[in-house]
Chains A and B, each alone.
Chain A
Amino acid sequence: DTGVSQNPRHKITKRGQNVTFRCDPISEHNRLYWYRQTLGQGPEFLTYFQNEAQLEKSRLLSDRFSAERPKGSFSTLEIQRTEQGDSAMYLCASSFGNPNEQFFGPGTRLTVL
């Protein structure tokens, strides 16, 4: 499968715990995006990498959130001290060339109890 992959697919955690998600983009895609989607809403942009550089962060990305893309390939999104409001689907997308043609992974569904 050469699409965007995300792990884990599901994560259940208790409030206050830290969680980390991984995204593997399509090979050779230099741009990588993280979005958050809650029930009944469209995805909301969180942050964007071009190669290993994090070029943009949304106001939605509080200081409890951090993202990395250390070698310009896979990326991780960490949420510290999770809150119930963090429960959502976390989507990763990648693109190459045209930044508007973004290809999404299956998402990681986070449930904070």
Chain B
Amino acid sequence: QKEVEQDPGPLSVPEGAIVSLNCTYSNSAFQYFMWYRQYSRKGPELLMYTYSSGNKEDGRFTAQVDKSSKYISLFIRDSQPSDSATYLCAMSPPYSGGGADGLTFGKGTHLIIQP
């Protein structure tokens, strides 16, 4: 079992729909959770960063963390064709002051918003 599981999709929804993207993880040491958006042949772009369980909202995006279930979600409201991309979840343990600071990523979910 991989440390981070993410359905690769593709997930296709009509424009204006609410999109729900999810990741599960097995490593309870993960305390920090990020969502990145990656357009084809581009580098990942940081969308959301969360630490505590609960919700964090930024414009049309809401990140949700449930540490007890080891489950995180990203919701996109009023989805637009420009939101079509691959969405990657990423996680890390607490900063150790010099140890492994690499993020552990899911495979990414390919999202298609149909006009």
Interface residues of chain A, those whose CB is within 8 Å of chain B, are 4, 31, 33, 35, 40-46, 48, 50, 55-56, 58, 91, 98-107, 109
Residues of chain B lying within 8 A (CB to CB) of residue A42: 4, 6, 88, 90, 105-108
Residues of chain A lying within 8 A (CB to CB) of residue B99: 55-56
- In the complex, are the beta carbons of A40 and B107 less than 8 A apart? yes
Among the listed A44, A45, A98, which residue makes an inter-chain contact with B100, where contact means beta carbons less than 8 Å apart?
A45
Residues of chain A lying within 8 A (CB to CB) of residue B44: 43, 91, 104
- In the complex, are the beta carbons of B45 and A104 less than 8 A apart? yes
Main secondary structure of the interface of B (DSSP, over half): loop
> Once the chains are docked, how many angstroms separate the CA of A107 from the CA of B42?
7
- Choose among A4, A35, A40, A99 the residue with the greatest number of B CB atoms under 10 Å from its CB: A99
Residues of chain B lying within 8 A (CB to CB) of residue A50: 98
Residues of chain B lying within 8 A (CB to CB) of residue A105: 43
> Once the chains are docked, how many angstroms separate the CA of A35 from the CA of B90?
13
- In the complex, are the beta carbons of A31 and B101 less than 8 A apart? yes
A-B residue pairs in contact (CB < 8 Å), sample of 13:
A4-B43, A33-B102, A41-B108, A43-B105, A45-B104, A48-B100, A48-B102, A56-B99, A101-B34, A104-B46, A106-B42, A107-B41, A107-B43
> Once the chains are docked, how many angstroms separate the CA of A67 from the CA of B49?
28
Any chain A CB within 8 A of the CB of B8?
yes
Any chain A CB within 8 A of the CB of B92?
yes
Q: Closest approach, in angstroms, between the C-beta of A111 and any C-beta of chain B?
A: 13
